[in-house]
Structure 1
Amino acid sequence: MTAFTYIGAALAEIAGCFAFWAWLRLDRSPWWVAPGVASLCLFAYLLTLVDAEHAGRTYAAYGGVYIISALLWLWLAEEVRPDRWDLVGGAICLIGAAIILWGPRGSYAA
């Protein structure tokens, strides 16, 4: 369930941010802002559904998923194929996100 929630949050965040990008950088209508705001609200809500004890850990782990989603956006929406450094960086981020979210937690201090 966590993976689907993160993917949904990433899609909502990218869509919301792109709405502002379209308005401010691509000279689209200011009406793009309304669905952008709604999408960003959905993004924030979805992150609250992740089963984690601390918000900061949820957000940190989400960062890796967001990076992969942004690279997919680059490829599919902007038609720019990610290069090997994009892919290696994305893989490292996903590994880091998995460690942050699912790493064993003990009663000891790091």
Structure 2
Amino acid sequence: MLPFKTLALFLLTAVAEIVGCYLPWLWLRQGRSAWLLVPAAASLALFAWLLTLHPAATGRVYAAYGGVYVAVALVWLWTVDGVRPGPWDWLGVAVTLCGMAIIAFAPRGG
């Protein structure tokens, strides 16, 4: 799979997972409507389906996806929760994205 397409798919997958977990959190922690569980379930189903679109071995996909998830979660922290990440947070994201790139795009023999 092309690097841009892979990264875009990982980004979409991460957003689906975060939304699917954030909506129940709003219900449980902030007393929001239980109806939020309906779009949360749909978002988590979308997340699971998106993971199946990768042609690589499942374990490798999950490992590489984890790096992108960390980056998206930090952006979510900043944009949705209003907490600005610090330099160490961004360094951690850089390290995880380097790991993701190695796992996802390294040449594979045979």
Q: Please indicate, yes or no, whether the TM-score normalized by the shorter chain is above 0.5.
A: yes
Structure 1 unaligned residues grouped into runs of 5+? none
Name the amino acid aligned to 1:40. Answer: L
Q: Is the 8 A contact 1:16 1:37 kept in 2?
A: yes
2:65 is matched with 62
Distance 2:29 2:66 in 1: 24
Distance 1:14 1:34 in 2: 15
Deviation at 1:18, TM superposition (A): 0.3
Deviation at 1:40, TM superposition (A): 0.4
2:104 is matched with 101
The percent identity for this pair of structures is: 53
Deviation at 1:93, TM superposition (A): 0.3
Structure 2 unaligned residues grouped into runs of 5+? none
Distance 2:87 2:30 in 1: 28
TM-score with structure 2 setting the length: 0.92
TM-score with structure 1 setting the length: 0.92
1:10 is matched with 14
Deviation at 1:3, TM superposition (A): 1.1
Deviation at 1:25, TM superposition (A): 1.2
Distance 1:2 1:106 in 2: 20
Deviation at 1:106, TM superposition (A): 2.9
- Deviation above 6 Å: which 4+ runs of structure 1? none
- How many residues get paired? 106
